[in-house]
Amino acid sequence: MHSVECPIFARMDPKPSGFEEPRPEYSAIIPLRLLSVRQLDRDLWQRIQLLSDHIQDMTEEEKEMWKVSNAIEQKYRMRKL
């Protein structure tokens, strides 16, 4: 499954490393994997679409991460990632 994000992280400069501290770059992994599911497994994507986002319950930090995820999705759609 990590093959989805590996090419993207490989092109990053500087490359993220270590797991001792939170790395904002790693927050892109789940959105990238979900986007690949949308392309590779339409049935699973339809089930994922049924999940609720609970955005009204998010903290301000979580809302910022949501914006980052949306920006990643936009770039992915335009094939800039």
Output b/e per residue, 2-38; b: 16+ Cβ within 10 A.
eebbeebbeeeeeeeeeeeeeeeeeebbebbeebbbb
Q: For residue 35, is it within any domain?
A: yes
Q: For residue 47, is it within any domain?
A: yes
Whole domain around residue 61: which residue ranges? Answer: 6-77
pTM reported for the whole predicted model: 0.52
**pLDDT of the residue at 33:** 86
Q: For residue 1, is it within any domain?
A: no
**pLDDT of the residue at 43:** 93
Q: For residue 13, is it within any domain?
A: yes
pLDDT per residue of the chain (81 residues) written in tens, 0 to 9: 578 888 887 887 777 777 777 777 888 888 888 888 888 899 998 988 888 777 777 788 888 888 888 888 888 777 665
Q: For residue 46, is it within any domain?
A: yes
Q: For residue 12, is it within any domain?
A: yes
**pLDDT of the residue at 16:** 73
Domain count for the chain, please give it. 1
State the Cα–Cα distance between residues 41 and 33, nearest whole angstrom. Answer: 11
Q: For residue 59, is it within any domain?
A: yes
Q: What are residue 12's phi and psi, to 5 degrees?
A: -70, 145
